[in-house]
Amino acid sequence: MHVKQAGYVIIVIGLFSLTFSLGAVISELGGGGFPAGQLLGVGISVIVSLIGLVLIVADQRVRFDLDELKQRLSAFISDVPVAYWIVAGFLVSYFSFFIFPIFLNSGQQFQYFKYLPEGPQIGMDIRAILSLVRDWAFLHQNHYADGWVWYPPFYNLFFVPLIFLRDQDAYVVITFATILCYFFLVLVTLKLVNPRHNKSLLSLFFISGIVSYGFQFELERGQYNVIAFLFCLLAVYIFYYHEKFRYFAYLLFTLAVQLKIYPAIFVILFIKDWRSWKNNIKRMLGLGLLNFAALFILGYSVFVDFVKITIFPPFGESMYWVGNHSVKSFVHFLDQNRNGPLSGRALLLVQNHPGLLEIALLAYFGLCLLAIIGVAYWRRENGLNTYLLLACTIGMLIIPSVSHDYKLTLLIAPMSIAFGDLILPAQTSKRIISYLLIFAASVAYSAMLFPPIFRPQLIENSLPLLFIILTTITLLYVLKPFPKRDSDTASPELELEPQVN
């Protein structure tokens, strides 16, 4: 195609857009309004037409070689670093859920963040926890029967040192401990797992996480999810990279489970070789019995009370809110919210079959998890599977009935580990698909950095965003190129080289 021909095409497009925009301007003026958006369209149309005119008078010896253009575009796409797509996704969410609602809202007022659920005092969770521990330590009371606490019995022993401090001092301790653990979780652990991890990508996740809505929520409430998850991730690291100390890894894993039950899902990661059935079964049974026995640490009666409240939680309406991103809460949100994202037959279907929708969502998660495990088994891949690590993290966030948004902070380290360890296919079409998946995951992750009140209703609750990340990481693992065997050795181990961008 000649440059002159391209110019004519562009002029036609510009004139068509100009005609449409002028019609809209006249319509708005007739209605008494000021057509700012339509006038902007007129300006853009004029610029497009001028570009076409420039091309018409340009040197006519120049031709567009479509094959060459395609080759250059293919080479450019193949060389774009993963970090660029992560940043692009972040920018989409940054403008959508921060710049526009804060500065460019229709009310022309600066909308300062006021999005955390109001409480009587800052640090209300750690204050409540210490009150319960004091009742156990000094009055020999536990409050499982009252429905006031759902933590495993070990939390009483873990927080005993803080009951001798004033509540305000204890809150200061837990705040600095959380910040320190966040640094270890996102910076130190990641560099231990993958020393070649891209620094720019690591910095992006670290900075975006430390200013995120979830981390602010964690600090404001005085929660200890980051502390418990650090124990869990350190256990996984030691298990894979320091086998001599694997029993210490089991101890750290048990500590994490006894502080917050949900890290139990990471027991799947204590499988190095999926084909070593005997060793895997022995290890799973051993860890299961160890954690089950630890639930009796305060006696049989406390264990029974804990089991009762875990199986039959006193779920009140206060637990069903937009900031509870569990499957159970999300279905209730769709069912009860008459002004929500669903209407008509879709709303009626959810109202008639809420339990079926819960099962379907959990089954979808299980399907994605099994897909990753199945592909790993088929490829005979051993070692730490960072894709599986991220999938388990999402399961940890959506399966418990109560999973408030302060737990979103736990997504940062596994996201950085998984996306820093991506191996992209060499085939251009598959690589483009992979980039689009990375972009979608980045948009979903970045959207959760901002408060729900600034998101569209469909993604006000974070569960759909978590499912987007789950889907993308599963597909990225399926698209991942088949690892080559090391022909120089007889070992069945497979060598994988992560793409460092």
Residue 501 has pLDDT above 50, yes or no: no
Is the pLDDT higher at 235 or at 243? 235
Q: What is the per-residue pLDDT across 270-299, written as a single tens digit (0 to 9) for each? A: 988 888 888 889 999 999 999 999 999 988
Q: What is the pLDDT of residue 249?
A: 92
pLDDT for residue 199 is more than 80: no
Quick one: DSSP state of residue 482? P
pLDDT at 31 over 80: no
What DSSP assignment string belongs to 9-44?
A: HHHHHHHHHHHHHHHHHHHHHHTT---HHHHHHHHH
Return contacts of 439-442, CB within 8 angstroms, 24+ apart.
Answer: 439/85, 439/88, 439/89, 440/89, 440/468, 440/472, 441/89, 441/415, 441/468, 441/469, 441/472, 441/473, 442/85, 442/86, 442/87, 442/88, 442/89, 442/90, 442/92, 442/93
Tokens coding 360 = 């379907």
Take residue 485 and report the two structure tokens written for it: 């065997």
Render pLDDT for 68-98 as a digit per residue (tens, 0 to 9). 666 666 766 666 677 767 777 777 776 777 6
Res 397 pLDDT > 70: yes
Domain range list for the chain: 3-64, 124-479
Alpha-carbon span 214 to 210, nearest angstrom? 9
Evaluate if pTM is beyond 0.85.
no
Paired tokens of 124:
């209300």
Closest CA to 272 of 394, 387, 380: 380
317 pLDDT above the threshold of 70? no
* C-beta atoms surrounding 246 within 10 Å: 15
DSSP percent split of the chain into helix, strand, coil, nearest 5: 70, 0, 30
Burial 34-53 (b: 16+ CB within 10 A, else e): ebeebeebbeebeebbeebe
Average pLDDT of the segment spanning 27-38: 53
Contact 63, 1 (CB under 8 A): yes
Contact 408, 397 (CB under 8 A): yes
As given in the structure block, the two tokens for residue 441 are 């995951």
Angle ∠(115,121,122) on CA atoms, nearest 5: 65
pLDDT confidence of residue 473: 95
Which phi-psi region, left, alpha or beta, contains residue 277 (left: φ > 0; alpha: ψ -120 to 50)? Answer: alpha
Contact yes or no for 331/171 (Cβ under 8 A): no
- Whether 464 and 458 have beta carbons less than 8 Å apart is answered as yes
φ/ψ of 170, rounded to 5, equals -65, -35
The Cα-based distances of 431 to 58, 200, 249, 390, 395 in angstroms read: 36, 21, 37, 21, 27
Instruction: Look at residue 292 in the predicted model and tell me its pLDDT.
Output: 93
**Contact criterion met (CB below 8 Å) for 111 and 105:** yes
Beta bridge partners of 485: 494
Q: Across the chain, what does the average pLDDT equal?
A: 79
Sole residue written with tokens 């958006």: 37
Please report, for the chain, how many H helices and E strands are present, in that order: 22, 0
| Residue 209 half-sphere exposure toward CB, CA atoms < 13 A | 25
CA–CA dist 27, 30 (Å, integer) = 5
Q: State how far the Cα of 31 lies from the Cα of 52, in Å rounded to an integer.
A: 33
Q: Residue 64's pLDDT band (boundaries 50, 70, 90)?
A: low
CB neighbour list of residue 499: distance below 8 Å, 6 or more residues apart: 82, 422, 423, 424
The predicted pLDDT at position 494 comes to 38
Residue 500: what pLDDT? Answer: 41
What is the Cα 59 distance to its own chain's centre?
51
Per-residue pLDDT at 486: 47
User: 107: pLDDT confidence band, cut at 50, 70 and 90?
Assistant: low
Angle between helices 463-479 and 428-447 (to 10 degrees): 160
Q: Tokens for 103, please give them.
A: 């500065």
In tens, the pLDDT along 118-142 reads 666 778 888 888 888 888 888 888 7
Mean pLDDT computed over 177-192? 81
Q: What pLDDT is recorded for position 192?
A: 65
